[in-house]
Chains A and B, each alone.
Chain A
Amino acid sequence: MRSTGTLAAAFAAALLTAALPAAARDLTITSWGGAYQNAQRELYFAPFQKETGIKLVEDTWDGGIGVLRTKAQGTPVWDVVQVETDELVLGCEEGILEPLDWQALGGKDKFLPAAVHECGVGAIVWATILAYDGNKFPTGGPASWADFFDTQKFPGKRALRKGPRQALEFATMAQGVPPAKVYEALRAPGGIDKAFAKLDSIKKDLIFWEAGAQPPQLLASGEVAMTSAYNGRITAANRQDKRNFKIAWNAGFVYQIDSWVILKNSPKKAEAFKLVQYLTRPENQAKLPAIIPYGPTHVDGGKLVPAEFAADIPSSPQNLPHGVFFDASFWVENVEKLTERFNAWAAQK
């Protein structure tokens, strides 16, 4: 009899725990996983905890405004998140992000103009680039996005990030459009159809990655001959795993600024802002390129980066002319429609 009583009590306790809202949790930061987040942990997250005594837990994600909306419902389970520009703009407009105190961040003029937003402050300058394994192409690898789409000249599978962002830009560059004119071409009538037709031309050789850590793995395992990738992951694989991966900077690339945001109604708002302040200190931003070549957004941070690491950064003088800045207004307007179209296209044989 006593055992049934205990059982019933345990069961009732279990029911209660399930029904009660989650108890107070630790400050939570969400970034993009893999080599990048490892670097952030070493450079920022661990020292921040030591300096402030605030306990910090991590999560990872692969972007998407819908994910952000899901996480922001009710009492958010994340506090600080690194987001792409379109997520920043949409999220701020929908009221799921906290406006930031720019005075406390040091003033808007201290950052690159594109790194300043009501609800977000620039975290890094990064790029999506064309990468391949130098060892697999002893006589010279792909040099343009046209080569990426030419499976006759360079046989083998290709990988692109799942979703329309950057894929449409690259498919447009592959038609011979110079990087600077990409968004003009996409906005022109039929521009998006042409980009989808280009993607369709190599559909049977395409696979899609979602997490930034996947492209280096796909290259390393020989699963694909070439892939789009976040530039930092490729350099990190070369530095840490002694790979011979190459980045075809001259083929053209899309560079953008990721931002730190705080979710609306965060129960840890004050601590979250303290963390954002810590992350955007110029001396802290300048430490990252030595491990993973993403550029600082703080003007003073840019000056502090050692010259030897500057060449691998998208915004370096020799790389920048080949890049196009991610057009946030094009994507804010179109991301959902195009994501739907992309998913339907990808799911069909």
Chain B
Amino acid sequence: MATTTLELRRALRRAERRSALGGLALALPLTGFLVVFFLLPILGMLAKAVENTELATAMPRSAEALRAWQGLGPPPEPVVAIVATELKEAHARRRSAMVAQRLNREEAGWRNLILSTARRLPDDPQGSWLETLVAIDPAWGEPAIWAGLRRAARPWTDIFLLAAVDLHRDDHDAIVRVPPDQAIYLDILARTFWISALVTLFCLILGYPLAYLLATLPERWANPLLILVLLPFWTSLLVRTAAWIVLLQREGVINDLLVRLGFLAEPVALVFNRTGVLVAMTHVLVPFMVLPLYSVMRGIPLSLTRVALSLGATPLLAFRKVYLPLSMPGVAAGCLLVFILALGYYITPALVGGAADQMISYFVAFFTLQTANWGMAAALATLLLVATLLLYWVYARLVGIDRLRLA
């Protein structure tokens, strides 16, 4: 009797373990996929934001000498000599462009300084190496370029992360704000969140009644309507955005109609500005609000509202006290989904917005594609990621993550 119980227990445990392992094995491919194609690239991107290998690769002895040197202004002659001779070598091996590009990130214009100096450096110094350099360009007599070189010599750099929040380092390596005419990224981050918040609000205003209608109609009617919601969802984002340009432009359908009906004396600017961005983004994102709302609302028995009404509640009160709280998980999920998707929007604002309506992703793309400045692109992406995670955390605390219900 006792042995059979024991055996039974062991067999049970074995079966449990097998099913747990089986579950793990089922999730393994996806986990592997996520690690390789999601987690590693993100970590790689984060690393790019602080990577600082150009100078150490192209001019290793200079990097070492500069790291050892402390103080302000041109360094002592032995360090200058190493830098000058190695710069000449690097130029001969066509590696000076790499150094020039890195230094140009410290200050626009230093690419020229490095390249023109590298071209004109003699084999032997005229006087000291420092005098030789200053004779080529007086900038070599200033502390700024040497402080920049020293920053470029370190194994890691924070200039990109600082620049992403409108800060930089001065000649003393102290962190200071950039001049107001160059400070743009904090504004752009705030703009990104503001546009996303507005789009989320508009999607909720438009999506809630629609989802309610879909959830309460008999299925015969609800299904075709749902297809109408899904149809734009399946259409290419680019096509929809381009269509909005046609609709909203100065002599487009909407302006024409409003002028002809007498609502407007003359056409107004609806596209290539903030209005265009909000309209197009709301249209693109509305299905992401409707679907979670719809799935939650389908589960709310209409009889509950009827009970409230029969007990004497006004329709408004019944909605506020009964229906709205029950649909909140859908609202929370829809808002989160739309907001986070909106944060990363790039192509829609790029096409229908003006220069002052671009969101942070536009600048990530700009730095990646237009200037090959991976550090800056990665720093901005990191900024967006951190800000989004913070916001998600606050949201989860406020709403309660268990109340989210995605379709």
Contact = CB atoms under 8 A, between A and B. Distances in A.
Interface of A: 8, 11, 15, 64, 66-67, 69-70, 73, 93-95, 157, 162, 207-208, 221-223, 332-333, 336-337, 340-341, 343-349
A95 B109 CA distance: 19
Contacts of B104: 336
26 contacts: A8-B29, A64-B370, A66-B373, A67-B372, A73-B372, A94-B97, A94-B100, A94-B101, A95-B97, A157-B269, A207-B355, A222-B249, A222-B250, A223-B250, A223-B251, A223-B271, A223-B272, A333-B112, A336-B108, A337-B109, A343-B366, A344-B182, A344-B183, A347-B355, A347-B356, A347-B358
Contacts of B251: 221-223
A145 to B, nearest CB: 20
Q: Is the interface of A mostly helix, strand, loop or mixed?
A: helix
A95 B358 CA distance: 34
Interface string B282-305: 000000000000000000000000
Contacts of B94: 95
A345 B188 CA distance: 13
Interface residues of B, number: 37
Instruction: List the 5 closest A-B pairs by CB distance, nearest first.
Output: A66-B371, A346-B355, A94-B97, A337-B108, A222-B251
B219 interface: no
Given A95-B94, A221-B249, A337-B109, A347 B184 contact: yes
Contacts of A349: 356
Nearest to B366: A343
Contact of A93 (B115, B354, B371): B115
A156 to B, nearest CB: 9
A11 B29 contact: yes
A26 B281 CA distance: 38
A346 B250 contact: no
Contacts of B181: 341, 344-345, 348
B76 to A, nearest CB: 31
A97 B366 CA distance: 23
Interface in B95-121: 97, 100-101, 104, 108-109, 111-112, 115
B39 to A, nearest CB: 15
Nearest to A64: B370
A221 B109 contact: no
Contacts of B325: none
B187 interface: yes
Contacts of A94: 97, 100-101, 115
A93 to B, nearest CB: 6
Nearest to B107: A337
B30 to A, nearest CB: 11
A348 B372 contact: no
A221 B115 contact: no
Contact of B372 (A69, A345, A346): A69
Contacts of B188: 347
Contacts of B354: 207-208
B369 interface: yes
B140 to A, nearest CB: 17
B252 to A, nearest CB: 7
A162 B355 contact: yes
Contacts of A340: 108, 182
